[in-house]
């Protein structure tokens, strides 16, 4: 018999919540989550980051407690950012075996079982000028910088890091880090490269958390122009050729088109960083009662997965894990 009306009835699958659950195409899993954490010198420190409600700078002791909670919530991985005691023009503490990140890794590995530790590899947290590399005048030297980044990556792994994540956007750094790790026998340590990292206004709050704002100029000589898509593909392709095991797009929400294309084109494990500004905007609007914070949080994370990300680095990881416990079967 012919349909009375010549149109499709999409609503048939929307009336019943059980059916809705059955036909849902994208799910959030705890295995998708990577939680960023900031470690500072001192003891018993838990400094709230003003521009990021719910995010703190931790000393190593409180960081370990935080990691226990993260593990307990079922989040598989953290990414660590260190704020050193002393900054200098060369960022020497970045590869000091007794540096803040190295000590933090030892402490976590001693006290928390089976929590994957990823480290952010860059120099901006360690340099007195806040730039991501070694300077000559006001220019960042590429090849001198990747030599230092390689030392930093090796030093993190020697301290016990399970994975390294170069975020600097110097050319050739994945190749240099891969070579340095392999030379030391760390052939089994994966590299998650910040492959398509844009020069974004959304990093503002992070620079409070990591105390890494550049003292002059900006990051446009190495991070990507926000308007470029084809270039992102070339960046990702180069990182894969150089040996990246996981490729990241950053920020996430405003660059869903890039995430989608990277995943479809390269079929590589793909991560996306929902950055500080994305987090803080949702938090702020939520705190003002302007949006339903939990709903928007989940919507933002589902959107990133729907675009094609396998993993999401997000300051919402703990809240999302709790939401998954309460809402997903």
Under the binding rule (CB under 6 A), the answer on residue 79 touching ligand PBG is: no
For the bound state, the minimum distance from the C-beta of residue 14 to ligand PBG, rounded and expressed in Å, comes to 36
Q: Which stretch binds Zn ion (CB under 5 A): 1-9, 79-87, 109-117, 131-139?
A: 131-139
Q: Strands 135-136 and 139-140, how do they pair?
A: antiparallel
Dihedral sign from CA coordinates of 214, 279, 119, 163: negative
For the bound state, the minimum distance from the C-beta of residue 222 to Zn ion, rounded and expressed in Å, comes to 8
Under the binding rule (CB under 5 A), the answer on residue 124 touching Zn ion is: yes
Q: Which stretch binds ligand PBG (CB under 6 A): 82-90, 202-210, 235-243, 320-328?
A: 202-210
Measured at the alpha carbon of residue 250, what is the angle toward residues 246 and 254, in degrees to the nearest 5? 135
- Closer to Zn ion at the Cβ: 274 or 300? 274
Please, which of residues 89-118 interact with ligand PBG by CB under 6 A? none
Q: Which of 104, 108, 122, 176 binds Zn ion (CB under 5 A)?
A: 122
Query: 179 pairs with which residues across the strands?
Result: none
Under the binding rule (CB under 6 A), the answer on residue 275 touching ligand PBG is: yes
Rounded Cα–Cα distance for residues 68 and 48 (Å): 19
Under the binding rule (CB under 6 A), the answer on residue 206 touching ligand PBG is: yes
For the bound state, the minimum distance from the C-beta of residue 273 to Zn ion, rounded and expressed in Å, comes to 13
For the bound state, the minimum distance from the C-beta of residue 22 to ligand PBG, rounded and expressed in Å, comes to 36
Alpha carbons within 13 angstroms on the beta-carbon side of residue 225 total 5
Please, which of residues 159-178 interact with ligand PBG by CB under 6 A? 167
For the bound state, the minimum distance from the C-beta of residue 6 to ligand PBG, rounded and expressed in Å, comes to 50
Q: Which residues are catalytic?
A: 197, 250
Please, which of residues 115-134 interact with ligand PBG by CB under 6 A? 120, 122, 124, 132
The backbone torsions φ and ψ at residue 269, rounded to the nearest 5 degrees and listed phi first, read -55, 125
- Closer to Zn ion at the Cβ: 107 or 194? 194
Under the binding rule (CB under 6 A), the answer on residue 276 touching ligand PBG is: yes
The listed partner (Zn ion, ligand PBG, none) that binds 175, CB under 5 to 8 Å by sort, is none
The listed partner (Zn ion, ligand PBG, none) that binds 126, CB under 5 to 8 Å by sort, is none
Judged by CB under 6 A, how many residues of this single chain contact ligand PBG? 11
- Closer to ligand PBG at the Cβ: 201 or 328? 201
Summarize as ranges the residues that interact with ligand PBG (CB under 6 A).
120, 122, 124, 132, 167, 203, 206-207, 219, 275-276
């Amino acid at each position: 018999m012919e349909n009375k009306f010549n149109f499709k009835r999409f609503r048939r699958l929307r009336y019943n919540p059980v059916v809705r659950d059955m036909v849902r195409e994208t799910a959030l899993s705890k295995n998708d989550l990577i939680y960023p954490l900031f470690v500072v010198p001192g003891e018993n420190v838990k400094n709230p980051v003003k521009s990021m409600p719910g995010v703190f700078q931790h000393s190593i002791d409180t960081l370990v407690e935080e990691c226990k909670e993260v593990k307990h919530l079922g989040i598989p991985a953290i990414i660590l950012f260190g704020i050193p005691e002393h900054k200098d023009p060369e960022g020497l503490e970045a590869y000091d075996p007794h540096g803040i990140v190295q000590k933090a890794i030892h402490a976590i590995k001693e006290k928390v079982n089976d929590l994957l530790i990823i480290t952010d590899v860059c120099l901006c947290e360690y340099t007195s000028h806040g730039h991501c590399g070694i300077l000559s005048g006001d220019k960042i030297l590429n090849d001198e910088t990747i030599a230092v980044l390689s030392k930093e990556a090796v030093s993190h792994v020697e301290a016990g890091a399970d994975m390294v994540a170069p975020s600097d956007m110097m050319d050739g750094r994945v190749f240099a880090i891969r070579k340095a790790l392999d030379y030391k026998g760390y052939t089994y340590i994966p590299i998650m490269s910040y492959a398509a990292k844009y020069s974004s206004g959304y990093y503002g709050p992070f620079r409070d958390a990591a105390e890494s704002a550049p003292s002059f100029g900006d990051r446009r000589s190495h991070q990507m122009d926000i308007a470029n898509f084809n270039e992102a593909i070339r960046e990702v392709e180069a990182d894969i050729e150089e040996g990246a095991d996981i490729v990241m797009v950053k920020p996430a929400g405003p660059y869903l088109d890039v995430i989608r294309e990277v995943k479809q084109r390269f079929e590589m494990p793909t991560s996306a960083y929902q950055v500080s500004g994305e987090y803080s905007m949702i938090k702020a609007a939520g705190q003002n009662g302007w949006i339903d914070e939990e709903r928007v949080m989940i919507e933002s994370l589902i959107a990133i997965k729907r675009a094609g990300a396998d993993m999401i680095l997000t300051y919402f990881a703990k809240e999302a894990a709790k939401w998954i416990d309460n809402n997903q079967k």
